[in-house]
Amino acid sequence: MKVWPIFGLSLMLTACGGGSSNQPEVPPPSGSQGGANTGSGSGWVAGQYDPIRDLEAICANPRSSGGYNDLLGTTTDENFWIRSFSNDTYLWYRELEDIDPGTIDTTEEYFDLMRTDALTASGNYKDQFHFTYDTEEWIQLSQSGVSAGYGWELSFIATSPPRSLVVAYNEPNTPAGNNNVSRGAKIISVDGAMVVDGPPAVLNAGLFPSGLGESHTFEIQDLNSSEIRTVVLTSQEITSQPVKNVKTVDLNGSKVGYMTFNTHIATAETQLIQAVTSLRDAGIDELVIDLRYNGGGYLDIAAELATMVAGTVANGQIFEETTFNDKYPSVNPITGRNLAPLYFPTRAAGFGSTSQGTQLPLLNMERVFVLASGGTASASEAFINGLRGIDVEVILIGSNTRGKPYGFYGIDNCGTTYFTIQFKGSNAKGFGEYSDGFIPANTDDMYGAEVRGCRVDDDLNHVLGDPQEAQFAAALSFMETGSCPDSAAGSSGILQKARATGPDKSADIGKPYIPGRILR
C-alpha cells in the first residue's frame, strides 16, 4: 500500500497505520445483535475489526505491474479494508455505523457510507471532504500538477438546476486558452445538454474528461458578448501554473505587491520563492495574495509561504499543531511518528526544482490582504490561521472561506486512493474551529473565525490582478481608508462551493480536485 498525505503534497510514504491490539474497542452500533453476523456470509461481526495490514492489497482486480503486491480477492475484501481503515483512522470514527461489507456491492458506495452525517452549528455537513481518486491519476496530478482536461477553472455558481457555470481563468497553451475561452465566459451547453437543466451525466462527462484525446462540444457566451459560439475542445495533459500574475501596483506613493496563488502542489514551491523574491526586491509596502480559487494542497508549502510573508517574527513559532482521533493522542497513525508541531520553516522542503534547505526569502509584512471565496480551503485556510496565530494581521476580502480545518493522507488500496478526514489543525493560539469558514467581518479579534475584512463578490468581469477587479480594488481601497468600500463592483456571482461537493446531495455536477491539506 502507498500513502500520500494531504495538507500540502509531497513524498510517497510506504508506511501505513494498522490496527493495534491496545486500541479501545468500539461498541456495536445501537440495534445490532452484539456481534452476530447479518447472514450475508461475509464473516462480518459487528464491533470487531481486523487489523488493516491483514486486509490490504486483497483486490477484486489486482494490479500486475507498478511494483504493487496485490492479491486476488473480491469487492467484499476491499470493503473490509475500508471498514477497518475508517474505524482506525477516521477523526470521527465513533460516529460511523458498522455496516456489513458483504451487503454493499461497490467500494465507492461502501466508502461513501464511512463518514459522519453530523452537522456544524450553521447546519452544514461536518464532513464535506470525503472522496477517492484513481491512484495513478492522483500520483500524476499531485506530484506534477498534470491532469487530463482543457486548461480552465470553473466557477460553480449553481451546481443544481437552474445551474450556472462561468470560467474563472484558463491556463496558457491549453485547449481553453488557445480557443480564447477566458475568464467571464459562460458555458451554455455541453454536448447538446443545457447547463441550466440538462442531464448531469452528460455535463460531467464533458466538463471533466476521464482521459486524454476526448473531444466535447461546448456552447460559450464570452464576457461582454451577446453572441453564443461553439467550440470543440479536446482533452490533453494539463500542467497547472500555481502562481500567476505577480506584479506591483503604485498606490499614492506606496508599492503594493500582488500574486494569484491557485494550488499548493509540489511545483508551487519554486514559483512562490521566485514570486516572493521579486516582490521583496521591488520593495513592496503592502501585499495581496489572491487565494479565491486555491482549494489547498501540501501544508508544508502553506507554512513556507507564511514564513516568507511574516519574516523573522515567525522564527521558532508554531505554524500548526495536528490532532488525530482519540486512539492516537501522541502518535501519527499513518507514519507511526510521535506527534510534533509544524513550525514556521526557514528553509525550503525541496518539493520540485528548488533544493532542499534553500533559504526562504522574507518580506517581513505586518499584515497581508487575502482575496478569498468559498473555493479557498484547507491549506489556504491554514495559511490564514497560522499567520493569525503569531499576530500577523490578515485582512480578508471576498466571501466566507470553505471551512476545512481538517486533513488526511491519500491511502492507496487496490488502485484507488482514499481520502478520509483523519486529523485537525490548530494554530499557535490553539485555534482551529472554523468549520464554517473564515468570515470577513468588522472585527479586530485575532482569535476567532471572524476576520477583519470586507464582503466582496468575485468580479468575473475583470481579469485577475486588474486593480479594477472588485476584490483587488476593495483591498486597495482598504489600504487607503482603513475601511471597506461602500459598494463592490459588479459581479457574476461568488464561487459558492469548491468542486469537492461532499455530501451536498443537491449538487449534481462537479468533481473533486486537489483538496485539502496534505501532510508529508
User: Which tens digits make up the pLDDT trace of 154-183?
Assistant: 998 898 999 999 999 999 899 999 999 999
Cross-strand pairs, 194: 189
Residue 194 confidence (pLDDT) above 70 = yes
Sequence-distant (≥ 6) Cβ neighbours of residue 482 within 8 angstroms: none
| Pairing mode of beta strands 186-190, 215-221 | antiparallel
| Residue bearing cell 483538496 | 515
Question: Taking CA 508 as the corner, what is the angle to CA 506 and CA 513, rounded to the nearest 5 degrees?
Answer: 110
- Extract the C-alpha cell encoding 430: 490553539
Predicted TM-score (pTM) above 0.95: no
- Give the pLDDT of residue 492: 32
> What Cα–Cα distance (Å) separates residue 396 from each residue in 218, 443, 489?
35, 11, 17
Cross-strand pairs, 71: 58
Q: What average pLDDT score do residues 273-285 get?
A: 98
Question: CA–CA separation, 378 vs 421, rounded Å?
Answer: 12
Which of 276-285, 324-333, 510-519 is predicted with the least confidence, judged by mean pLDDT?
510-519
Where does the pLDDT of residue 499 fall: very low under 50, low under 70, confident under 90, or very high at 90 and above? very low
Tell me the percentage of the chain whose pLDDT exceeds 70. 85
Sequence-distant (≥ 6) Cβ neighbours of residue 211 within 8 angstroms: 148, 235
- Give the pLDDT of residue 507: 61
Q: What average pLDDT score do residues 356-360 get?
A: 97
Q: What average pLDDT score do residues 113-118 get?
A: 96
Stated as kind and residue range, the H or E segment containing 301 is helix 299-310
> What Cα–Cα distance (Å) separates residue 90 from each residue in 135, 166, 343, 434?
20, 35, 25, 19
- Extract the C-alpha cell encoding 302: 502553506
Which of 12-26, 66-80, 190-204, 466-480 is predicted with the least confidence, judged by mean pLDDT?
12-26
Question: CA–CA separation, 324 vs 339, rounded Å?
Answer: 9
Three-state SS for 460? coil
- Give the pLDDT of residue 240: 86
Tell me the percentage of the chain whose pLDDT exceeds 90. 73
Residue 282 confidence (pLDDT) above 70 = yes
- Give the pLDDT of residue 511: 52
pLDDT tens digits, one per residue of 123-132: 888 898 899 9
- Extract the C-alpha cell encoding 506: 443537491
- Give the pLDDT of residue 427: 97
Question: CA–CA separation, 405 vs 210, rounded Å?
Answer: 30
Three-state SS for 495? coil
Taking the CA atoms of 26, 27, 32 and 38 in sequence, report the sign of the dihedral they define: positive
Where does the pLDDT of residue 297 fall: very low under 50, low under 70, confident under 90, or very high at 90 and above? confident
Cross-strand pairs, 455: 398
Question: CA–CA separation, 80 vs 83, rounded Å?
Answer: 5
Residue 386 near residue 320 (C-beta atoms within 8 A): yes
Question: Taking CA 12 as the corner, what is the angle to CA 11 and CA 18, rounded to the nearest 5 degrees?
Answer: 130
Where does the pLDDT of residue 520 fall: very low under 50, low under 70, confident under 90, or very high at 90 and above? low
| Residue bearing cell 508541531 | 341
Largest CA distance in the chain: 77
**Closest C-alpha among 198, 390, 212 to residue 311:** 390
What domains lie within the chain, and their CATH numbers?
Answer: 151-239 (2.30.42.10), 243-404+424-491+512-518 (3.90.226.10)
pLDDT tens digits, one per residue of 31-44: 333 334 455 899 99
Q: What average pLDDT score do residues 340-361 get?
A: 95
Where does the pLDDT of residue 434 fall: very low under 50, low under 70, confident under 90, or very high at 90 and above? very high
Average pLDDT over the chain, rounded to an integer: 87
Where does the pLDDT of residue 517 fall: very low under 50, low under 70, confident under 90, or very high at 90 and above? low
Three-state SS for 218? strand
Task: Return the DSSP state at 278.
Answer: H
Residue 472 confidence (pLDDT) above 50 = yes
Residue 458 confidence (pLDDT) above 50 = yes
- Give the pLDDT of residue 36: 42
E strands, 349-391, are 367-372
- Extract the C-alpha cell encoding 419: 481520502
- Give the pLDDT of residue 483: 94
Separation of CA 395 from chain center = 21
- Extract the C-alpha cell encoding 71: 492479491
- Give the pLDDT of residue 145: 62
